[in-house]
């Protein structure tokens, strides 16, 4: 902006306008339209920059506009003199109008513990958070520097707390990836749960934890035959009642069961329960090769079935004891029970003639040695006449010889042998 020095015949004197002098006959300066329009446009631009509509009757608009723009440029700062949740500031120069987007700063005197108001010198109005919701507490701290901005479209007009140094910020609920998540969303359903066996770096929901087997995914009682599904992974299933129950393990191929999937099964019923692998899947117990045959859960036992890969379900638990070669047994009047390396065998030899002997073959040959064989003595049939005593002679790892020493009787000999 300058005087119209380059406009011919304007009549500037020393570069400035002069009045007409009738005494001396000196003409006055001319004001060209281009220069008058330029001056008016300059002032209108200032008024428009302050967010104001030009008015022909308001002769203070330029002053107000300069004040507003000055405040905006300086980001007006004041010291809060209010109390908790009620913030009051006296700005210099004073706020003359709340123009859209007016930013203000103040040093908070107290922290907030709930909804807040703000008085900028023009009266009290709501102070809301970045989510356009009432403050909850902790968004302003004592001695924190707060930045606020006027928004006439929130309620009847509100200041928005953009942030306060050292304090938490209010954010809107996340709706897309890379959005900030509000604390309240973490306590409610948010987003979608990843597929059951997802192994990516996505956030884990409690629903995903349940389905993936990090905790029991469910408890399933059943009777009769039940075919396993992917939903049984991580679950506890038990057969019960007097029904002959059976369970078919989930097909690891068709259901894409991952390595490490675990299913726990228990037999609370009265009968043995068959556990059957599907398709080409196999089951395996310690010390034995994998097999496509069924595994038997005897009543009162349980087992964990872990998919170890290649369609093999590895079996652990107390049910394995009765099926493992290390704990094999043959239960009857003559039989044996393995207890790891230790073997206990038993039986009854009937009617050894007085003064005679009888060789007995053990139900199972001891792999290494027979440690001891202990005989008993009982009368044959219903007879109580028996003066024989019974002795034993070791016969190696597979047999022994019992002797009836005495003239009268034909004793039965119950016996027990221990070896390894």
Residue that is last in its domain, among 269, 300, 325: 325
Beta-strand pair 312-316/282-284: parallel
Distance, CA of 115 to CA of 136 (rounded, Å): 6
The more confidently predicted of residues 30 and 23 is 23
Domain of residue 352 covers: 329-419
Distance, CA of 11 to CA of 5 (rounded, Å): 9
Domain CATH number, residue 387: 2.60.40.3940
Residue that is last in its domain, among 147, 164, 181: 164
**Do 100 and 71 touch, CB atoms closer than 8 A?**
no
pLDDT surpassing 90 at residue 326: no
Q: Residue 22 has what pLDDT?
A: 82
Q: Residue 30 has what pLDDT?
A: 72
List own/partner pairs for 287-293 with CB under 8 A and 24 or more apart: 287/324, 287/325, 287/326, 288/324, 288/325
pTM: 0.43
The model's confidence at residue 250, banded by pLDDT at 50, 70 and 90, is very high
In a domain, 225, yes or no: yes
CA dihedral 96, 98, 103, 105 (to 10 degrees): 60
Q: Are residues 319 and 215 in the same domain?
A: yes
Q: What is the pLDDT of residues 340-389, one digit of tens each?
A: 889 999 998 888 888 888 899 999 999 999 999 998 866 554 455 566 78
Q: Are residues 246 and 293 in the same domain?
A: yes
- The one-character DSSP state at 23 is T
**Do 377 and 388 touch, CB atoms closer than 8 A?**
yes
Structural domain count of the chain: 3
**Do 52 and 65 touch, CB atoms closer than 8 A?**
yes
Mean pLDDT of 43-54: 87
Q: Are residues 395 and 365 in the same domain?
A: yes
List own/partner pairs for 228-236 with CB under 8 A and 24 or more apart: 228/263, 228/278, 229/255, 230/196, 230/255, 230/256, 230/257, 232/263, 233/196, 233/257, 233/261, 233/262, 233/263, 234/210, 234/261, 234/262, 234/263, 235/263, 235/264, 236/264, 236/266
The model's confidence at residue 2, banded by pLDDT at 50, 70 and 90, is low
**Do 361 and 370 touch, CB atoms closer than 8 A?**
no
**Do 234 and 219 touch, CB atoms closer than 8 A?**
no
Domain CATH number, residue 243: 2.60.120
Distance, CA of 376 to CA of 402 (rounded, Å): 10
**Which residues have a Cβ under 8 Å from the Cβ of 352 and sit 6 or more positions away?**
358, 388, 390, 402, 403, 404, 410, 411, 412, 413
Q: Are residues 125 and 155 in the same domain?
A: yes
Average pLDDT value over all residues in the chain: 87
């Amino acid at each position: 902006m300058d005087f119209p020095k380059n406009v011919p015949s304007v009549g500037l004197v020393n570069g400035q306008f002069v009045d007409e002098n009738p005494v001396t006959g000196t003409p006055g300066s001319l004001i060209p339209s281009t220069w008058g329009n330029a001056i008016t446009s300059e002032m209108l631009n200032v008024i428009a920059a302050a967010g104001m509509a030009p008015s022909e009757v308001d002769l203070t608009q330029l002053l107000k506009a300069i004040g507003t723009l000055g405040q905006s440029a300086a980001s007006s700062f004041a010291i809060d003199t209010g109390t908790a949740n009620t913030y009051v500031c006296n700005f210099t120069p004073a706020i003359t109008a709340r123009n859209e987007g007016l930013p203000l700063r103040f040093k908070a005197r107290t922290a907030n513990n709930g909804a807040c108001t703000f008085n900028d010198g023009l009266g009290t109005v709501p102070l809301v958070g970045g989510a356009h919701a009432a403050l909850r507490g902790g968004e302003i701290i004592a001695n924190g520097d707060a930045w606020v901005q006027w928004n006439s479209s929130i309620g009847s007009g509100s200041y928005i707390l953009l942030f306060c140094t050292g304090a938490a910020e209010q954010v809107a609920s996340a709706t897309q990836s890379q959005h900030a998540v509000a604390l309240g969303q973490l306590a409610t359903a948010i987003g979608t749960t990843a597929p059951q066996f997802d192994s990516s770096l996505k956030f884990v929901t409690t629903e995903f934890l349940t389905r993936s087997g990090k905790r029991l995914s469910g408890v399933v009682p059943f009777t009769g035959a039940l075919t396993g599904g992917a939903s049984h992974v991580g679950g506890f299933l038990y057969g019960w009642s007097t029904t002959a129950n059976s369970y078919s393990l989930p097909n690891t191929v068709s259901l894409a069961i991952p390595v490490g999937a675990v299913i726990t099964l228990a037999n609370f019923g009265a009968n043995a329960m068959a556990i059957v692998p599907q398709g080409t899947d196999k089951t395996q117990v310690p010390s034995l090769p994998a097999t496509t045959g069924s595994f038997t859960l005897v009543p009162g036992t349980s087992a964990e079935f872990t998919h170890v890969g290649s369609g093999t379900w590895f079996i652990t638990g107390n049910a394995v004891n009765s099926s493992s070669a290390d704990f094999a047994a043959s239960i009857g009047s003559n039989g044996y029970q393995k207890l790891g390396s230790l073997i206990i065998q038993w039986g009854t030899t009937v009617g050894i003639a007085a003064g005679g002997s009888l060789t007995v073959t053990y139900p199972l040959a001891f792999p290494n040695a027979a440690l001891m064989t202990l005989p008993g003595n009982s009368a044959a049939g219903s007879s109580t006449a028996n003066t024989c005593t019974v002795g034993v002679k070791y016969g190696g790892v597979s047999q022994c010889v019992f002797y009836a020493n005495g003239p009268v009787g034909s004793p039965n000999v119950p016996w027990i042998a221990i070896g390894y």
